[in-house]
Chains A and B, each alone.
Chain A
Amino acid sequence: MILRVATTLALAVAVSAGPVAADPRSEARAQVAFGIDVAQRGLWREALYRWERAVEIDPTYAAAYNDLAIGYEHEGQFDKARQAYEKALALDPNNLQIQQNFDLFREINDRTAAASEKP
């Protein structure tokens, strides 16, 4: 009897969990959350890996591209950061936080690039 109940419960859990695991956004969101957690501890390489996974799983997830852009920026990979910010904004053009991050990124980039002259 106990075995039957346990088997039924396990099946119910498996069935209910099935659609969640198959949902790309949920899976990507879990990767993003983990990335944020490790980034806050200073583990930026691991965070980058997680956010790269997140955008692979769900290429329509603007927040994941935003976080990925920040990770690239922190690692000094500015071309990749710009592309990721642009993708994030293309997916969510009205997101002010992504726009603000991108503006700050551009400010640094423009400031360091603008003043130089060719000899």
Chain B
Amino acid sequence: MTERPPHRKNPKNRRATVALLTALAAAGVACGTAYFEIPIETPIQPKLDVSAFQRVLIAGFVAGGSEDVDANQETVRLLRSQLRSKSSLRVIDADAMPLVEIAKGQSAAAGAGTTGADAQPTPLPDEIKNEKDLEAYERLFANTAYWKQIGEEYQNPLIVTGTVLFMPHSRQGMVQRDVEQYDSFGRRRVVPIRSFMERKGFVLAPRFVFIDGRTGATMYAERYREEILYNSQQNTPALSSYFELMDRLVPNFLSALSSQKIRGTRVLLQ
């Protein structure tokens, strides 16, 4: 347990302390507040009631933004491994579904079934480059008949699907950073310096959709966005950036399905 020492000594005799403090207060002498740093674990209840499910299917994701990382495969793999160790649900092993192709197939079938030009569904983009390209795929998740069929195939599990956009990103601007300086007496000080920098990195913007495999209906959805930027000279592999960004998001994803404890510290005052 980490404890910062109190500002003043903690006397053994509490009654004496109380009397002393009262006397000091009465005399108008200012006294500091004692403080104690304490570790706490904040329990976070799951956002979803998954008690009706024993199994979970991480079906697949409509993914795009970068060709360097197969965001569908990687996201399926990562979430499955996380759920195996941090959730009581049994994870179904199955190939990641190629949802882009499935959505295109559904779109073509819907187009062939309609006669009037007004009834034609919005065409799906050939390539997913940004958030706007993903919007057209939303109707895939609203297709309850399709997800019910998938649910029946896997014996009515909880289905996790959604979209994942992982794309390169760059930004220019003034950046503040701390620089160590030593004066003529050798004393160290840290000085904030603002400088113009060109940085590049990646944005990860997943949307997780939780579907009830018994009905095919969406139970819950959540959207996240994280970005990471490096010096433009730094050459960081896309896959390692992907995992770094997913590391930030995974606790939030898990908190939808199972109770989590977030560790932190607080300061108790006396």
Q: Residues of A with Cβ closer than 8 Å to B?
A: 16-17, 19-20, 23, 25-26, 29-30, 32-33, 36, 39-40, 62-63, 66-67, 70, 73-76, 95, 97-98, 100-101, 104-105, 108, 111-112, 115-117, 119
Contact = CB atoms under 8 A, between A and B. Distances in A.
Nearest to A27: B18
Contacts of A30: 14, 18
B122 interface: no
Contact of A40 (B3, B17, B19, B264): B3
5 contacts: A16-B19, A36-B270, A66-B267, A67-B269, A116-B221
B239 to A, nearest CB: 24
A69 B226 CA distance: 30
A101 B267 contact: yes
A20 B22 contact: yes
Interface in B35-50: 35-36, 38, 40-45, 47
A116 B1 CA distance: 34
Given A63-B269, A115-B224, A117-B223, A40 B14 contact: no
Interface SS of A by simple majority? helix
Nearest to B218: A119
Nearest to B219: A119
A40 to B, nearest CB: 6
Q: How large is the interface on B (under 10, 10 to 19, 20 to 34, 35 or more residues)?
A: 35 or more
Given A70-B40, A108-B42, A119-B217, A23 B22 contact: yes
B33 to A, nearest CB: 6
B191 interface: no
A29 B40 contact: no
Given A63-B270, A67-B269, A76 B43 contact: yes
Nearest to A67: B268
Interface in B215-238: 217-224
Given A32-B269, A70-B38, A115-B222, 6 more contacts: A17-B15, A26-B18, A30-B18, A40-B3, A40-B38, A117-B220
Given A40-B38, A112-B44, A70 B3 contact: no
Contacts of A25: 22, 25
Interface string B1-36: 101000000000011011101100100000001011
